[in-house]
A and B are shown apart, each in its own frame.
Chain A
Amino acid sequence: MRSPALLAPIVLGALAIACSTSQSPSEPLPPVIAEAGAPGPAAAPTRAAFHRNPFGDVLQSDNLFVDGDFEITGRTDQAPWIVISNQAQGTLDYDTGGRCRSGVRCALIDTTDALVGNIASPSVDDIEINLYVQPTTQRCADASVIALDIGTGDGSGTLQSITTAPDADGWCHFAGKVTNMAYEEPAVYVTIADNAQSKTLHVDQASALPASETPVHGALPPLVPLSAAETARAKFIAAWLRAHRKFGRNAPRTDPR
């Protein structure tokens, strides 16, 4: 991921709480804590407070996800991310604050959901996709992250987590390089894997960049071909989205008052 410095939240604790004059230099400076937020000092505080950019990971301005960080994604309609739940579009649930990996909002899905996020493809380059998922277990394999063309439902492959277990903050980093998808309709869909024990997943901080422009981090895990069930699901999602693409306005009336 680019520019991780933005993601470093700052603990704002220890600010004076008494009536006081303006902030003095003697006030403690905010320590920097880990990206996902839980600092875990020895005293085991109940919580920590820190700052995030409310517009999310905007340092990655050229992110090819329509909205990689869910900060300008709504819960319904033709949003950058939509959730297909029980064979039709559902209402996207959020979680918020430090329970997300970046920004203020992130997606929360359950076993009935497929979370679909739209991406643009470079005209010629491959696409490097990174995305963070937080299972409720210690198994990153509880999540399934699939790249596909939602025009046709053809799957490009399943992205793999870089680690088998979540990091200290509970997040699994899925990454992969997808072959150029120019003039297709690239997307990912995220589900709880069939054999998972997690009942919910948090999804956040997705990025897609031209592969040639991404920093070299070493080899990315290879994409894995879709299973028959995943292929069927991809085809269903594509067909559903194609049949329900909106060409119009919802609001029929302008209120003159």
Chain B
Amino acid sequence: MIRTLAGKHPARLGLALLGLGILVLVLVPLIASSYYVSVLGEALAFSMFAISLDLMWGISGVLSFGHAAFFGIGAYAFGLLTQDLSGGTATYIAVLAAIVVPALFGAGLGYFTFFSGVSGPYFAIITLVVALILGQAATSFPHFTGGLNGLYTAGLVFEVPGAQIDLSDVVTLYYVALVLTVLILFGAIGLVRTPFGQGLVAAGESETRAASLGYNTALLKTSMLAVSGAIAGLAGALYAPMAGFINPEVVGLTLSTNVIIWVALGGRGVLVGGVIGALIVAFLSSYLSGNVGHLWLLALGVLLLLVVLFRPSGLLGSRAIRRIVGSA
């Protein structure tokens, strides 16, 4: 047991390992070329996205098969509001919109579904269809969204007191992503440990039991969906200047299913599992392409199947780690 190794403080061990991982990530741009820094930066944005999914899935027991809808709405909101502007307050408003709009969407979707008792696989299918609709809409209203050509985000600047953060510099974006991801990770863990979070953990384990204890599970789940949407939207807004270019792929089915794979492989219910899954898988996916890419995807499919059959909690989803996070 981890407990025996860690002595009386398993959380401290977990924290130490996490600190080590963060340190490594901090050092990467000093030794890697800009291409790899940009790929890793995008992977960090995806990790934030994975955290948002795990809050719904691993913590609250609700699988969303179209979660990229929130990511994409955030990315598009950011892209649209910064289209013809390159700095100043526009970027602030854009980031704010990227957080608020998906949150509202999540609240609306939650109200539409959870309050009518729709959950489980029916919820998953509804979110799947929502992702399909949004992907289609993003492609087919090009005057609004740029269609398949997408929106471009070159030359953006973010102003903070006393400095200007150049959003087209790869290394700057990388560190912004790292800081934000770490903050979101700790914030999410903290959230899980609050009564709100614990109520959701209970609802995730058994809805009827939680309801019988007096929890308004529909309200809890809807609120968490809004939070999850906000985080995913922020991740999307972060991704936009990194890719330099936003197209319907960011709302579509591919990204929605990829994030599920990251969390499934990295570990459900522990929040950091999604981070690991996203970092490793997203990085390797960019690195390998062409026919090797297909082989890699095949291997990923096989790996996913094996994980689901024989280790459904994923790499880091063990009970011990879930205890540290507060989801078990």
**Are A and B subunits of one complex?**
no
